[in-house]
Structure 1
């Protein structure tokens, strides 16, 4: 695993061994960012189920100003810290060591990109989008990127958001919601 493009392009990423996290492959990560960017001019990214932190580090590498990563698993938190250190710009990253629901209630400011790759996709994604909208932390131009198993069918609309793009890559499906 490595950063695909941008400021940190080519740098290796550590991943967590075992079945508690499913790191997004380099190929899917590259395709995902080509769908939504591929590069950004500032903004804030929220990675609600950060795993190894690869997606949000990729977003910052491609131009996002800062990232907030949320992860409850202690072993994954250690991997995230190591991956953030690799960037040598740790001040651009904030790691919240807690469950997604608790983190949502503590977030402040606005996010321009939200990354959702929860372990139990469909119900979790709908609930998270609704909670984020209710918390008032989503910018007007926010993109919500959901990564799921290809068998998961997300609703056409959630809260004030509709599917903008959707694509399947191997066993993964990427769905992008916008207002």
Structure 2
């Protein structure tokens, strides 16, 4: 998940696309917690606010996604350490696309994918998330979004996903500051919530009109 400094709050969120992470401060390591790469530890670049997604949040989320992850095509926007996309690959995802703006962070993520032997199942795009979503869409079964806080990106990115980026019944995980209830497309139904510090993670299930 995404944390870097911003002028309006303590170090935590960046002014643009941010690395994931809100785990143990200064740990410098990402520990995968389930699946093929369980207990593998990967280096985290020493950048302000770059921290792996907390183990507890990932464990909760992937318990919810246990039936949906194997064989899925996964999108990890604002990827940073890639904690969620890597966890999905570890648990049997067919392919993961990681979108990360910071070139140095993206290079570390590429190195970690190579270390795991997962590079053939991954595509790494060094670009701003909104620029990526303005491109030609291909559908995903799972999408993870953790945009910078207080910059109005959550709703815009969620709505952009509806332009062909999601399978008919895709699952989408969105993390925002707890004070914000993101404006999501009408076809998304809130499935589960998880709380961690000053952030709230929401898992939505896409339900196109005429279903349910």
Structure 2 gaps of 5+ residues are 1-29, 207-212
Range moving further from structure 2, 16-25 or 45-54: 16-25
User: What is the root-mean-square deviation in Å for CA atoms of aligned residues?
Assistant: 2.0
Output the CA distance in 1 between the equivalents of 2:201 and 2:170. 16
Partner of residue 161 from structure 1, selected from 176, 188, 204: 188
Question: What is the aligned partner in structure 1 of residue 144 from structure 2?
Answer: 115
Of 58, 75, 93, which aligns to 1:46? 75
Distance 1:104 1:66 in 2: 18
Q: Greater share of helix residues, 1 or 2?
A: 1
Aligned to 2:93: 64
Q: Give, in whole Å, the separation in 2 of the partners of 1:123 and 1:160.
A: 20
- Equivalent position of 1:146 in the other structure: 174
Alignment of 1:66-145 (within 5 A): 66-120=95-149, 123-134=152-163, 136-145=164-173
Q: Secondary structure at the match of 1:33?
A: helix
Counterpart of 2:46 in structure 1 is 17
Alignment map for 1:23-38 (pairs within 5 Å):
23-37=52-66
Is contact 1:145-1:175 (8 Å) kept?
yes
Kindly indicate whether the alpha-carbon contact (under 8 Å) linking 1:129 and 1:159 is maintained by their aligned counterparts in 2.
Answer: no
The TM-score normalised by the length of structure 2 is 0.76
CA-CA distance at 1:124 after TM superposition: 1.1
Question: Any unmatched runs of 5+ in structure 1?
Answer: none
1:175 aligns with 2:202: yes
Separation in 2, partners of 1:18, 1:4: 23
Aligned residues: 177
How much has 1:171 moved relative to structure 2? 3.8
Q: Distance in 2 between matches of 1:121 and 1:159?
A: 22
Alpha-carbon contact 2:176-2:182 (below 8 Å) kept: no
| TM-score of the pair, normalised by structure 1 | 0.89
Q: Aligned in 2, Cα 1:98/1:130: closer, same or farther, shift over 3 Å?
A: same
What is the SS of the residue equivalent to 1:81? helix
Give the C-alpha shift of residue 22 in structure 1.
Answer: 4.4
Q: Which has the larger radius of gyration?
A: 2
- Say which SS state the counterpart of residue 189 (structure 2) adopts: strand
SS at match of 2:78: coil
